[in-house]
Amino acid sequence: MRRALLTLSRYGILGPFSLGCIFVLSSLLLTGTVSLSLAIVGYSISYASYMLDHISDAKRFSESLQSARVGTVAKSRISHILALVAFFAAVAVTLWSAGLAALGMLLLFPFAVAMHGTSLFGKLTRGVFGYQRIKDIPYAKAFHTALILALIVPFSAIFLHAEQAAPAVMAFAFFYMRCFSNTVACDYKDLERDKAEGVRTLPMALGIGGSAALLLAVDAASIGLVAYAITIGLWPDWAIVLAAGVLVSSAALIRMVRTWRDHEFLSSVVLDSEFTLQLILALAVIYLV
């Protein structure tokens, strides 16, 4: 099972699938139902954007510095073709199901990913800021990544024509914190590569202990937000399963820092699967309990 999960991660399947789960969780939080069309769009655009991010990194490093995922994805022509198919599928379903406004926001995802990981940022700003990519800006990587992924919530609200803003605002804050925490934790396995590339991340600034303490505080705040949203009636009772996913990620973070090994499995499988676990638990509670 462990080897199978690592293989799925290296071929860029596990990560984007979990990100697609944010769309479904957003649908459940905002409307109480699962939107099949939104799920199709979510999984498709997550895969396409994920491939764009990793393919853009493929030629930036020697093979010794490339992550297993980047190295595998770069050599997989099938992955490249599937990414294009997934992108056009997401565009078509969004236009058909939700209209031009939703399509416009959908296109923000690949655009933001391109600004993050390719030289598009430098070209559009004409080098005024001295950086080619947003991730080159010191310590911006985790904040920008979390913002891209948290935008799934307002996109879902537009797609589903959700009427209440408060649950969406709370969901935006929750997923921003979760994506921020998991992104920084995943930076631990990339320390050597980030140093070689000149990308400055929070673990470099705060150290391992300091950044881990920050992330555990963010995890605690995430759990507190879930409890608060349920208590004041913005979210349904089943949303408590979101806290369970946070606890699993916190446990993975603690193990990673204490043992300082097994980074690929803990970050690329356990942390990347947080939203998948939360969705499985949510569906089990809603439909089976």
Local confidence band at 43 (pLDDT 50, 70, 90 cut-offs): very high
> What is residue 284's predicted lDDT score, i.e. its pLDDT?
96
Local confidence band at 155 (pLDDT 50, 70, 90 cut-offs): very high
The stretches of the chain forming alpha helices (DSSP H) are 2-10, 14-31, 36-57, 68-74, 77-98, 100-106, 108-117, 120-124, 141-150, 152-160, 166-186, 191-197, 202-231, 241-259, 263-265, 274-287
* Of the candidate ranges 44-58, 89-103, 240-254, the one whose mean pLDDT is the lowest: 44-58
**64 pLDDT more than 70:** no
> What is residue 281's predicted lDDT score, i.e. its pLDDT?
97
The domain defined by 2-287 carries CATH number 1.10.600? yes
The predicted model gives 131-136 an average pLDDT of 90
**63 pLDDT more than 80:** no
Residue type present at position 116: H
Q: Which of 146, 112, 182, 155 is nearest to 24 (CA)?
A: 155
Predicted model pTM: 0.92
Measured distance CA(260)–CA(267) in Å, rounded: 12
> What is residue 251's predicted lDDT score, i.e. its pLDDT?
96
Local confidence band at 31 (pLDDT 50, 70, 90 cut-offs): very high
Measured distance CA(149)–CA(126) in Å, rounded: 26
> What is residue 34's predicted lDDT score, i.e. its pLDDT?
96
- Quote the tokens at residue 84: 């294009």
Local confidence band at 57 (pLDDT 50, 70, 90 cut-offs): low
Q: Report DSSP letters for 56-85, one per residue.
A: HHTTSS-TTTS-HHHHHHHT-HHHHHHHHH
Measured distance CA(22)–CA(153) in Å, rounded: 8
Measured distance CA(162)–CA(81) in Å, rounded: 34
The mean of the pLDDT values for the chain is 89
Measured distance CA(93)–CA(183) in Å, rounded: 29
What is the domain partition of the chain in residue ranges?
Answer: 2-287
Q: Which of 163, 48, 25, 33 is nearest to 94 (CA)?
A: 48
Are 25 and 278 within 8 A, CB to CB? Answer: yes
Are 49 and 108 within 8 A, CB to CB? Answer: no
Residue type present at position 74: A
> What is residue 59's predicted lDDT score, i.e. its pLDDT?
56
* Of the candidate ranges 31-35, 50-54, 125-129, 251-255, the one whose mean pLDDT is the lowest: 50-54
The predicted model gives 173-181 an average pLDDT of 98
DSSP annotation of 42 reads: H
